[in-house]
Structure 1
């Protein structure tokens, strides 16, 4: 088992139509040393995902054009990104939303507004697990 000493090799994509949420995630993750790729919606994310090849994806549920469920389903249907963890982001903390997220392949559900600690804890959980493979 190898351990990565720095976070600079971990690339995280944040997909959210809210500039405030994208900026908060960028600050929190940037301060922790992670590489960040920002996307405004599902189409933007799908256009950037092949070039950036993120290790972890945070995806808002309520977005215009292509919502988070559709975006997650498309990511998980891709052979290249099937194993990439997708964490759904939502201001609603309902059972239905969690179940629907699980149905499209999301790995976890994080309620907005998230704290720096909850965001980084989630990142560490999925990025350190990946180092054990």
Structure 2
């Protein structure tokens, strides 16, 4: 199940929690790429061609909605699976996430075990 996961959250402690949650996948050949703002995430998504992108919604420079929309406009043959991770759980935000091409929407606080299981399923082809 090798693959790449791009993680973007502007809050260092949340980014670290996501990293710690997913690091067990590294022993299965998964590479974790960490970024701290939307512009950096978009640049890394274009350079690294990740299989899974986990984006915070509220970030400086470019928010998660804008990054997701830009990734989708890139028109890759195999676009990454995108999870929007946010503390905002309103229906409006879910609809907006869907409209920009997000595959899934998870709210904070998240269950690390669910995040790992979700990532493992996605990287194993169970999109």
TM-score normalized by the length of structure 2: 0.89
- Count of matched residue pairs: 124
Give the CA RMSD over aligned residues. 1.7
- C-alpha contact 1:75 1:81 (8 A) present in aligned 2: no
Aligned to 2:119: 123
Unaligned runs of 5+ in 1: none
Is 1:95 the counterpart of 2:99 in the alignment?
Answer: no
Cα distance in structure 1, aligned partners of 2:25 and 2:106: 19
Aligned to 2:9: 16
Aligned to 1:72: 68
- C-alpha contact 1:76 1:82 (8 A) present in aligned 2: no
Displacement, 1:11? 0.9
Displacement, 1:13? 0.5
Aligned to 1:30: 23
Q: Find the residue that maps to 1:129 and give its secondary structure.
A: coil
Cα distance in structure 2, aligned partners of 1:41 and 1:129: 28
Cα distance in structure 2, aligned partners of 1:101 and 1:46: 16
Aligned to 2:110: 114
- C-alpha contact 1:75 1:82 (8 A) present in aligned 2: no
Unaligned runs of 5+ in 2: none
| Larger gyration radius, structure 1 or structure 2 | 1
Is 1:105 the counterpart of 2:98 in the alignment?
Answer: no
Is 1:39 the counterpart of 2:32 in the alignment?
Answer: no
- C-alpha contact 2:51 2:79 (8 A) present in aligned 1: no
TM-score normalized by the length of structure 1: 0.85
Is 1:54 the counterpart of 2:50 in the alignment?
Answer: yes
Displacement, 1:81? 6.9
